Structure 1
Amino acid sequence: MSTEPDVLVIGGGNAALCAALMAREAGASVLLLEAAPRAWRGGNSSHTRNLRCMHDAPQDVLVGAYPEEEYWQDLLKVTGGLTNEALARLVIRASSTCRDWMRRHGVHFQPPLSGALHVARTNAFFMGGGKALVNAYYRSAEKLGVQVRYEAPVERLEIVDGRFVAAHAVVQGRPERITAKACVLAAGGFESNRDWLREAWGQNERGEWPADNFLIRGTAFNQGVLLRHLLEDHGADRIGDPTQAHMVAIDARAPLYDGGICTRIDCVSLGVVVNREGERFYDEGEDFWPKRYAIWGRLVAQQAGQIGYSVIDSKAIGRFMPPVFQGVQANSLPELARRLGLPEATFMRTLNDYNAACRVGTFDHTELDDCHTEGVTPAKTHWARPIDTAPFYGYALKPGVTFTYLGLHTDDTAAVRFNQQPSSNLFVAGEMMAGNVLGKGYTAGVGMSIGTAFGRIAGTQAAAAAQGRSQPNNPTQGASHAIA
C-alpha cells in the first residue's frame, strides 16, 4: 500500500477478517497483516466447524428454537458466572443476525453431520469447515480491495496517550514501520507460547510443570507477543486468568500443533475416565457433551503426568464421532489395563466398583437420561451403563489448548482501554478479548460467535475513527449498528 491505510488490522483469523471486511464496507482503506505464511493463514479459525446461533424459530440449517435466555443460561453455567452479561448478550444477539452477512462474503452453511455433538438446534455448521470460511473471507476481502501481507508478525506498537500511531512489523524478513489512522488488534492469544504457558501454570505440588505436557490444538503462530506488549509495556487494562483457556481432552498421540478437531476424544460421556493410577476423578455424565467437553482438558491437566484414559466398551461404538486414531483394543478389562500401562489391580477395582454402582434405566445419549450410579465417588449422573461388553477400548488423553482467556478489557465499542479510558482509535476482537465473555469454561461454537460479533464491531468503529466520523455517544448504539 503506497499510502497510509485508514485501518490497520493485525491478525488473520475470523475476527480479523470480519473487522477488515466491515471497515472496507464502511469505505475505509484497509491493510491486514497476517503473521503466518499464506498456506497457514487463518489462525485457529481454520480448525473451527460451526457458530453458536440464537434463533427464535427454525432457520435454514438450524432446527427448533434457541432463544436468547437459553443461550445466556448455557453460557452462565459453563462460565460459573465469570462473564460480562452485557457483552455476552451482545454476542448472543449478534449471532442471530450475522449469517446473511457471512453468506454475502461467500460463507456457506450445511446441516450438521450425524453424530456432530447433538448441536443441530444450537449451532450452524460451515460447509467445508473453518478452512473454507477463512478462504471465502480472504477472497471477498481481496475482491473489495483489502491489502493483505503474509509473514508479517507485528512486534510492537507506538501508542501515545492511548492513541495508536504505528506498528512495527517484520514483513517477509524486513522491518517496517506502518502507520494508520486506526488499528484493530485480532492477533490471538498466547496458547502457542510454551514459556508463557509454563509461567502461567507454574509448578504443581508434585514438582511437575503441567504446561510441558500440553498440546496446542491450533496454530503455532499465536505467541501472544502483542498481548504481552500491550499489557506490560503500555499498561492496557486486562481481563481474565492466564491459566483459563478453551482446553479439551485430546488424543495423547496428537501433534504438538494444528491437530485440530479430529484429535478430540468424544466418547468420555459414554464410559469412564481414569488417571494413571487407574482411578476415576470426575463425573463423566454431568451434562451434554457440547456443554461440558471443554472442561476435560483442565481436569486432565490437574492429574499426575497430565494424562487420563477414556475407557468404553463395544456398546458405545457408533454413538460418538470417531477420532483420527484408533483406540487401544482388548478382549478383557485386565488386558486393556495392561495394554494402557495402568496398574491392573486398581483399574479393576475402579471398574468393578463403577459397574456395580450403575443403575440403568432408559439409556438415551441425546437426553439427560436416568442411567446413573449410586454409592460410588465420583458419581456418574447420566448415561451410566456397566462397561462389560467386549471388545473394550481405551484412549490416552492429554490437555489440548485451543485458546487462552487472558486478554484486553473492552466494552461494547471494542475499544482497548487504558486506565479505564477507551482508546479513540485502537480496537480489539477475537481471542485477545474473549476473556470478557469467557472467564472460564466453554460451550461449542461460542468462540466464533465472539470473534464474529466483536470483529464486526471493531471494524465498524475503526472505520469511523479513521474517517473522523463521530462515534456514537451511546456505545450500545454503536454496537447495534455494527451488528445489524
Structure 2
Amino acid sequence: MQSPTMDADVLVIGGGNAALCAALMAREAGARVLLLESAPRDWRGGNSAHTRNLRCMHDAPQDVLVDAYPEEEYWQDLLKVTGGITDEHLARLVIRHSSACRPWMRRHGVRFQPALAGTLHVARTNAFFMGGGKALVNAYYRSAQALGVQVRYDSPVDRLDIEDGQFQAAWVQGQRITAKTCVLAAGGFESNREWLREAWGQNARGEWPADNFLIRGTAFNRGVLLKHLLDDHGADRIGDPTQAHMVAIDARAPLYDGGICTRIDCVSLGVVVNREARRFYDEGEDFWPKRYAVWGRLVAQQPGQIGYSIIDSKAIGRFMPPVFPGVRADSLPELAQKLGLDETTFMQTLTDYNRACRVGRFDHTVLDDCHTENLAPPKTHWARPIDTAPFYGYALKPGVTFTYLGLQTDDTAAVRFAGRPSRNLFVAGEMMAGNVLGKGYTAGVGMSIGTAFGRIAGANAALAAKQQKAQSLQALTATEMKANHVIA
C-alpha cells in the first residue's frame, strides 16, 4: 500500500510579497513548494510590485534607519490610525517581527537604501527598497527559483476542496492540485468592481461611489478565493468591506496599476475643496505618511467622488512632484474657472481660510504652530494663506490599494472555521490584513503585515506538512505490519 501522491507538500496561492515569503520559508524548512500566481509572468507580484518600503521597529540606528522607532511608538501610531479597531496581540506580533526580518530579506536578495528627498518624514520609521517593490518581488522570485520552488503563472485558483476545515485540493482551470498544506495569499477584492459596488452601495445623492474608484494596484485581485472561503466554506471573517487602504490620487491616473506615482502629496501644504468648492476636512491633522490614506475615503464621500488640492507657489519644492502637472493659474478666480468650480463659492472658501490662518514658525518637518482659528473644519498645522501666484490645482479621485475584509486568523496564521483553527490551511497578506487594520493606514505597514504573516504561514505550513507526512508513514507502517501479521 502506498500513500497518495501529492503535487506539493505546501501549496502557496498568490504571487506577491506575502506569498513569496511563505514559499521561501516553507522551502527553507525542506518542503516541496508549488506557488500559483494568477497573473502572467510580466505582471507578477500583485500590489507588492508598487510598494516602496517596510515600516520597521528598531531600538537604535540600523544601516538605512536613523534614530530609534521602539515598539510602543509603532503601536501607538497604529492604534491612532485604526481608531483602536485592531487585534493588539497580532499587531504587536507584526511590529516585533518587523525588527528582525531584514537580515532574512537580504539573504534572499532584497536591498535597502536611505530615504530620498521628499520621503524624509519616514527616514526613521521605514526602510526603503532599492529599486522599489518590483526589485523586491524580482529578488524573491530569483531566490525561489534557485531554491527549487515551482512557480506557475496564469494560474488563477477558483475554488478549494475543504473538508471539516482541512484543505484537500485547489482547482485551477479544471485541474485539481493537491498538497498536504496550503497558504492563501491571493490578495483582497479591490479590482472586483461588482463587489465594491455591493459593499459601498448607493449614497443619498443616488450615486454609486465605487463606480468612480481607481485601482492603484493589480487588476488581478478580484477576491475570488476570499468570497469562496467566506460564502461557500463559512470561514470566519473579519473587517468591514468598505474599509480599505484608499488614497486620494490624481484623477487622471489609469484604472489599474498606477501605483505610487499617482499620489498627490501636497494636500497638507494647501487646502482641499470638493465639487461644490467647499473644504471638508483638516488638511494639517498630522504628518502626511500617517494621514495620506484617509483622504481616499474622504473624497469617496464627496459629491461625484472628486476633490481638488489647491496650493500656491510657496508649496512648490516641498513635496514629491506628481507625474502629471497641476492646473496652473495666475489668480485664484482663474484657477476656479479652469477647474470648473463655482468662482464665488471658491473665492469665499479661500478668503475665509486665508483670513483664519495664524502663521507662526512654518516647518513642514514638525507639527508646527501654523494653524487656523474660528474656521470649520480647522487646519491644525502648516496653515499659511494661499496668496502667492502662480496657483495650482490637482483633481483627486479615490484610489483603492487593497481592501480590509478578510479571513480571521491567530498568531499561527491558521484560517479559522467556527472559531477553530485549521490544521493545514493558512493565510497571509491582504487576505488577513483586516485583523490588524480595521481602518486607516500608516506608510509601510502593509508590507510589515505581509512579511510577518507570510513567513509565519510558510513556516507553519511546512511544519504541518512534515507532521502529516510522519503520521501517514506511521499509519502506512501500521497497516503493513497488520497485513504481514495476517499473512503469517
Aligned residue number for residue 88 of structure 1: 91
Match of 1:118, SS state, is: helix
Match of 2:467, SS state, is: coil
Tell me the alpha carbon deviations over residues 457-479 of structure 1, each in whole angstroms, 9 at most, x when there is no partner.
000000001111799xxxxxxxx
Separation in 1 of the partners of 2:431 and 2:451?
13
1:159–1:469 CA distance, 2 compared to 1 (3 A): closer
Aligned residue number for residue 466 of structure 1: 465
Separation in 2 of the partners of 1:452 and 1:465?
20
Tell me the alpha carbon deviations over residues 416-469 of structure 1, each in whole angstroms, 9 at most, x when there is no partner.
000000000000000000000000000000000000000000000000011117
Separation in 2 of the partners of 1:290 and 1:56?
21
Shift of 1:118: 1.2
Contact 2:180–2:468 (Cα < 8 Å) also in 1: no
Q: How high is the TM-score relative to the length of structure 1?
A: 0.96
Aligned residue number for residue 454 of structure 1: 453
- Aligned-partner residue type, residue 414 of structure 2: A
Shift of 1:75: 0.1
Aligned residue number for residue 101 of structure 2: 98
Separation in 1 of the partners of 2:426 and 2:107?
24
User: Aligned to 1:50, which of 44, 49, 53?
Assistant: 53
1:134–1:74 CA distance, 2 compared to 1 (3 A): same
Separation in 2 of the partners of 1:275 and 1:58?
42
Shift of 1:180: 0.2
Identity %: 84
Aligned residue number for residue 483 of structure 2: none
Aligned residue number for residue 80 of structure 2: 77
Aligned residue number for residue 314 of structure 2: 315
The answer to whether 1:17 aligns with 2:20 is: yes
User: Aligned to 2:116, which of 113, 116, 120?
Assistant: 113
Shift of 1:4: 2.0
The answer to whether 1:200 aligns with 2:203 is: no
Aligned residue number for residue 289 of structure 2: 290
Aligned residue number for residue 35 of structure 1: 38
Shift of 1:376: 1.1
Tell me the alpha carbon deviations over residues 76-122 of structure 1, each in whole angstroms, 9 at most, x when there is no partner.
00000000000000000000000000000000000011011610000
Contact 1:47–1:131 (Cα < 8 Å) also in 2: yes
- Aligned-partner residue type, residue 20 of structure 2: L
Q: List structure 1 segments (4+ residues) > 6 angstroms apart after TM superposition.
A: none
Taking the TM superposition and a 5 Å limit, the aligned residue runs for 1:329-348 are 329-348=328-347
Aligned residue number for residue 414 of structure 1: 413
Contact 2:6–2:179 (Cα < 8 Å) also in 1: no
- Aligned-partner residue type, residue 297 of structure 1: G
Match of 1:167, SS state, is: strand
Tell me the alpha carbon deviations over residues 253-307 of structure 1, each in whole angstroms, 9 at most, x when there is no partner.
0000000000000000000000000000000000000000000000000000000
Taking the TM superposition and a 5 Å limit, the aligned residue runs for 1:7-406 are 7-116=10-119, 118-170=121-173, 175-406=174-405
Shift of 1:404: 0.1
Aligned residue number for residue 477 of structure 1: none
Shift of 1:231: 0.1
Match of 1:168, SS state, is: strand
Separation in 1 of the partners of 2:107 and 2:175?
34
Separation in 2 of the partners of 1:162 and 1:225?
18
Tell me the alpha carbon deviations over residues 338-391 of structure 1, each in whole angstroms, 9 at most, x when there is no partner.
000000000000000000000000000000000000011100000000000000
Q: How high is the TM-score relative to the length of structure 2?
A: 0.95
Shift of 1:313: 0.2
Match of 1:380, SS state, is: coil
Aligned residue number for residue 479 of structure 1: none
Where structure 1 has 5 or more consecutive residues not aligned to the other structure, the ranges are 472-484
Contact 1:198–1:210 (Cα < 8 Å) also in 2: yes
Match of 1:399, SS state, is: strand
Match of 1:416, SS state, is: strand
Shift of 1:150: 0.1
Contact 1:106–1:140 (Cα < 8 Å) also in 2: yes
Separation in 2 of the partners of 1:329 and 1:372?
26
Contact 2:6–2:180 (Cα < 8 Å) also in 1: no
Contact 1:117–1:290 (Cα < 8 Å) also in 2: no
Separation in 2 of the partners of 1:436 and 1:300?
25
Match of 1:16, SS state, is: helix
- Aligned-partner residue type, residue 93 of structure 1: R
Contact 2:109–2:143 (Cα < 8 Å) also in 1: yes
1:470–1:240 CA distance, 2 compared to 1 (3 A): farther
Contact 2:6–2:178 (Cα < 8 Å) also in 1: no
Tell me the alpha carbon deviations over residues 152-191 of structure 1, each in whole angstroms, 9 at most, x when there is no partner.
0000000001100000012xxxx21000000000000000
Match of 2:84, SS state, is: coil
Separation in 1 of the partners of 2:199 and 2:47?
21
Contact 1:117–1:289 (Cα < 8 Å) also in 2: no
Aligned residue number for residue 474 of structure 2: none
Match of 2:8, SS state, is: coil
Q: Which one has a bigger Cα radius of gyration?
A: 2
- Aligned-partner residue type, residue 363 of structure 1: F
Separation in 2 of the partners of 1:329 and 1:377?
27
- Aligned-partner residue type, residue 37 of structure 1: P
Match of 1:427, SS state, is: strand
